[in-house]
A and B are shown apart, each in its own frame.
Chain A
């Protein structure tokens, strides 16, 4: 059965069904539906909701809950996500799983609350200090807000690494029919590393401080191996009409939905355009883009920012591929006509 559901609510319900019983957060628009839903529904399933005093406190409560072995989540936007970056770095360094939701706001500064994708670089290329990566999932529909949240908990636990849902406010705020039951049964793995008190076992330690000569280099290289494994095994993307395409549009989140409409109209006019939509932004579908770019020599990257994923696409492309960009920052949303016009200019 499908239910008409708002993206943020689908995400919050996905978290509950993923076995998340701990949510800590601080209000900020446009993600307030998530804490409000969880404040209401977590107590019903024996969970805990804490309206934290700040985003810094939220992410550190997550650190504590995660170290105790629980599935825990926080959500925020813009400045709030910036405040949490220290925590992401500690989670990655301490190898602790957590799910963080960023329903993006416009920036820099206090910015605005219209749909945008200005946090791609912050989410995908660090944000916090040190040599680490978040796992970053980019839903483009209400159904994916539900499904990818469950997936985020699964990946976070599998790799003991923070996983972020990176969505624009359009995906968070619009309503679509949505299946609110998991595709597969949720399995929460054993966590023998968790801190539960040294009952009948040696004391355990979770830390990110390695002061001994060479210790931190070993730790960094171990983390790198983990990120390499993610790149081998966890890349997700969707393609449409690429088999015969002369031009490939690459977009994630809301622009990918608009691009699909544009491609439909373009094809009616005989223009062979196709789409590659990254679902995981880290690990990024570089290999797939590289392979497609051997045949499709024109690529249009469409983002709601001034060109952030663009750099990753350029790095992934085969030599000789031309990469173009169409971006609408600051809350501007491209219309299908805009994308069609951009494509036609390139042919």
Chain B
């Protein structure tokens, strides 16, 4: 019998600890499939930040360095300068990258560090129990915005993919979603493109992935999918915000 669908070699055969309904596992699978297809497993090093993203090392069969909260792009910078021919990617959540780590990601991007950042945006701090993140939608209730996020006191949700796309050092910046098969296919194409940018030494690449956190959104997995589609995507539009076509360094 011919096998038409198998576990990617880079994805470990291990029980998941993520909550049922969470789309982190899809993100892992996409990254694992792209690593397999590009044949780069033995030269790829992953650097997860802190939060639910940290457990990357449990699932991907690659070398992994755990970074302090928000600092993965700085760790990736140091590592890439030592190992310029390896494929180095940071794997960060929104609390990690869009809050405590904005400085590190902006400056790594601005230097055009030839690294990739996979950025999971689920609009809350997941692991710590669902507190407000910079990406929390207006009106969204979290444990630290019990009356809903109010722009007058908590400001507006931050759009990282668009912001990073304004920087000269960025080769590729895209936002994708993980809640339906069609979007998953698009997400995989974006991850592949981001890794290819690194392989071709084009500069910094980032893929923002809209992800569900049904546990902390206090909804069922299917309701979370609807919420992502109807509430997140209108504020965080999907698309490619920057894509270099040549080594067009200034």
Q: Which residue of B lies closest to A197 (CB)?
A: B43
Q: Which 10 A/B pairs are nearest by Cβ-Cβ distance?
A: A64-B78, A61-B78, A60-B74, A64-B75, A65-B78, A64-B79, A207-B66, A60-B71, A53-B107, A68-B82
Whole-angstrom distance from the CB of B243 to the nearest CB of chain A?
25
Query: Which positions 32-55 of chain B face chain A at CB distance < 8 Å?
Result: 41-45, 47, 54
A186 in the interface (beta carbon within 8 A): no
- Which residues of B come within 8 Å of A, CB atoms? 41-45, 47, 54, 57, 60-68, 71, 74-83, 86, 103-104, 106-107, 111
7 contacts between A and B (CB under 8 A): A60-B68, A61-B75, A69-B82, A195-B63, A197-B86, A198-B41, A199-B43
Decide: A205 near B75, CB < 8 A? Known: A64-B47, A196-B83.
no
- Pick the contact of A57: B54, B62, B63, B71 (CB < 8 A): B71
A61 and B77 CA atoms in complex are apart in Å by 6
Q: Which residue of A lies closest to B44 (CB)?
A: A197
A221 in the interface (beta carbon within 8 A): no
Query: Which positions 83-107 of chain A face chain B at CB distance < 8 Å?
Result: 86-87, 90, 94
Decide: A50 near B63, CB < 8 A? Known: A56-B71, A60-B71, A68-B83.
no
Q: Which residue of A lies closest to B43 (CB)?
A: A197
Q: Verify B75–A63 contact, CB threshold 8 A.
A: yes
Q: Verify B61–A53 contact, CB threshold 8 A.
A: no
- Pick the contact of B81: A48, A54, A204, A208 (CB < 8 A): A48
- Which residues of A come within 8 Å of B, CB atoms? 22, 24, 48, 50, 52-54, 56-58, 60-70, 72, 86-87, 90, 94, 195-200, 203-209
Decide: A62 near B104, CB < 8 A? Known: A195-B45, A198-B61, A199-B43.
no
Q: Which residues from chain A contact B71 at a C-beta distance below 8 Å?
A: 56-57, 60, 63, 87
- Pick the contact of B74: A52, A66, A195 (CB < 8 A): A52
Q: Verify B104–A57 contact, CB threshold 8 A.
A: yes
Q: Verify A195–B42 contact, CB threshold 8 A.
A: no
Q: Which residues from chain A contact B83 at a C-beta distance below 8 Å?
A: 68, 196-197
Q: Verify A50–B81 contact, CB threshold 8 A.
A: yes
Whole-angstrom distance from the CB of A158 to the nearest CB of chain B?
20
Q: Verify B78–A22 contact, CB threshold 8 A.
A: yes
Q: Verify B82–A70 contact, CB threshold 8 A.
A: yes
Whole-angstrom distance from the CB of B75 to the nearest CB of chain A?
4
A53 and B108 CA atoms in complex are apart in Å by 9
Q: Which residues from chain B contact A208 at a C-beta distance below 8 Å?
A: 66
Q: Which residues from chain B contact A58 at a C-beta distance below 8 Å?
A: 74
A40 and B63 CA atoms in complex are apart in Å by 33
Q: Which residues from chain B contact A50 at a C-beta distance below 8 Å?
A: 77, 81, 111
Decide: A54 near B103, CB < 8 A? Known: A196-B63, A198-B42.
yes
Most buried by B among A22, A65, A87, A203: A203
